[in-house]
Amino acid sequence: MHPFISQEPVFYRAAAACLLAAGLFWQMNALNKTYSTRLSCPLAWHYDTARYVSLRPLPAAVPVVVTGQGWRLLRANLGMGLHPAELHPVPRPGTRYLSASTWQHSLQRALEGLQVDEWASDTLRLTFDRYATRRLPLALAAPDSGRAPAYTARFEPTSLTFRGPASVVARLPNPYPVAVPAGTGPGAARLAVRAPALVRPAAAQVRAELRPR
């Protein structure tokens, strides 16, 4: 250690610069080699969202094992130059999956410059349904105890339109129940309209005139 003791500050700056340059040169040389790694390839879904709805969340990305040059893999891991795979499913009701020949070809185009060694799976699970609209009259929901509601109600409006997946909308009760919050007294009230997931009522609240039975 004797040669490194009592040196001028410029010596240490020069030594640090040499070490930094050597490390940078080694890193650049290493990135020119070929490696294999696991990437998450983003997906972009394109279908008629005005007529069809997905009953389960569509995957935003698919993991794949790829081989390529270190620079290309580094950029892909940093999210630079990695374009999403464009997928165009045919969203017919009853469709349960997207075949491998369809989505793997799109992924291979998105991963241009990289060789795909291993796919996450052979299929992508999908569940689509058509949108449907149904108009239902409103009624007071029975209390959790199962007894008759403590009030009668006059709603404004008297019915609402519900829009959502056809299979879900078809199972909505008729008349549609609207709950009265605990502690609500007789008179004018604004009641929230609760609907299942993916179903949208025409109004989030309705006015009601509550009268004791």
Least reliable range by pLDDT among 2-16, 63-77, 93-107, 193-207: 2-16
The angle subtended at Cα 204 by Cα 58 and Cα 60, nearest 5°, is 10
Distance of CA 49 to the CA centre of its chain: 15
- For residue 175, cis peptide bond before it (omega within 30 degrees of 0): yes
Question: Does residue 201 sit in helix, strand or coil?
Answer: strand
Place of tokens 């004797």: 2
Place of tokens 């689509």: 128
- pTM comes to 0.71
Q: How confident is the model at residue 10 (pLDDT cuts 50, 70, 90)?
A: low
The answer to whether residue 110 scores a pLDDT higher than 70 is yes
d(CA 186, CA 190): 12
d(CA 108, CA 118): 12
The answer to whether residue 121 scores a pLDDT higher than 90 is no
Inter-residue contact 113 to 36 (CB < 8 Å): no
The answer to whether residue 24 scores a pLDDT higher than 60 is no
d(CA 113, CA 32): 14
